[in-house]
Amino acid sequence: MAVALNEAELLALVDALADGAWHSGEDLAARSGVTRAALSKRIDKLRDWQLEVESRQGLGYRLRAAIERLDAATLQAEVPGLRVAVRPVVDSTNTRLLESESAHDPQALFAELQTAGRGRRGRQWISPFGANLYFSIAWSWPGWPRELTALSLAVGAECALALQDFGLADIRLKWPNDLLVDGRKLGGILIEHRGEAGGSCRVVIGVGINLRMAAAQGEQVTQPWINLDEALARLEHAAPGRNALAAALLRRLHARLSAYEATGFAAVAEDWTRFDATRDAAVRIQGGTEITDGIARGVDASGALLIETARGMQAIHAGEVSLRLA
C-alpha cells in the first residue's frame, strides 16, 4: 500500500528549494533522509501543487522562481487583535472560515494553495502554491451594521490604499469587487454572510491578489490579468514580500472592520470614488436576461452602482449581475 506523503516533509522540500537556485538531487535526498526515488515522488507532488519545479541532468532541481512562504507568527504579531492562521493547502479559505466557530472571530486564514478557490458568481479562483495571496477574514457583529451592502466596496478601497502605499499609483476598482491595473485583473473580493434580520451578523471576506503567477500557472484564467510584480516594475518600484503585503492588508482591513459598525461606507467613500475605474464611462449591466446600458455615475451610500440611462438614473445592486465596459 502506498504511503501518503507527509505535508510537513513536503513543506521542508519547498523551503529547501525556495531560493530558486539549483540543488542536487543527492543533497536534497540526504537532507530529507530519503532515497532518490522517494525524492522524485515528492518533487512530483510539488508539481501537483502547481509549483514550477525544473530538473536538469547534472544540476538537480530548482523552482523556476524563488518563493516566500507566509509566516503565521509574523502576521499575528502585526495584528494582535486578529487570530491569524496559515494553512499549506485548503479547498477554499472562505469555505474553511464559514465552517469555523464564530467564537474565534475575528480570525484570518491564509492558504499557500487553494484546490477549490472561489470568486464571485461561482467562478473558479486559480490558486497555485505560493504564487499569490489568498486569504479570508471572518468577522462577527452583534447586529447588522449599516450599509452592509457596501462592505465589498469598503474592503476594495482599503486593499487599493494598501497597494498604493507600496507604489502602485495606477490601481483602480471595478464595481463591485475587482482590483484592476490597465483594465487587467489584479485581484478580487468575495463576501459571504450569515445571520438573521434583527440578530447577529457574521461575514467572511475573501481576498485574492496576483503577485507573481507564471503564465503557465494562470493559463486557465478566463480574463486579462496582471501580477503585482509586473505592475510595480513598470512604475520602477520593487515588489513587496508576501508577508509584508499580507501584513499591510491585515492592518488596514482589521482597522476598517473594527470601525465599520459605527462609520459604514461613508468613511472610505471618497477613496472609492478616487479609484473608480468606470466613473463616467459607458457600461453594460447584465443580470439574467435583463440588460441595462448607460453611463456609470459612481455609487450611492448603500454601494449601489448609479447608471444614467435613457429612462433616467437607476441604482444597480451587486447580487448576480455583471458589469462590462460598453
Q: Kindly list the catalytic residues.
A: 120, 185, 324
Which among 179, 157, 272 is positioned nearest to 226, based on CA atoms? Answer: 179
Q: What is the DSSP letter of 276?
A: B
Which 8-state DSSP code applies to residue 278? S
What DSSP letter does each residue of 12-40 carry, written as one string? HHHHHHTT---B-HHHHHHHHTS-HHHHH
Question: Cα(220)–Cα(32) distance, rounded to whole angstroms?
Answer: 33
**End-to-end Cα spacing for the chain:** 58
Tell me 149's DSSP state: G
- Cα–Cα dist 149/126, whole Å: 26
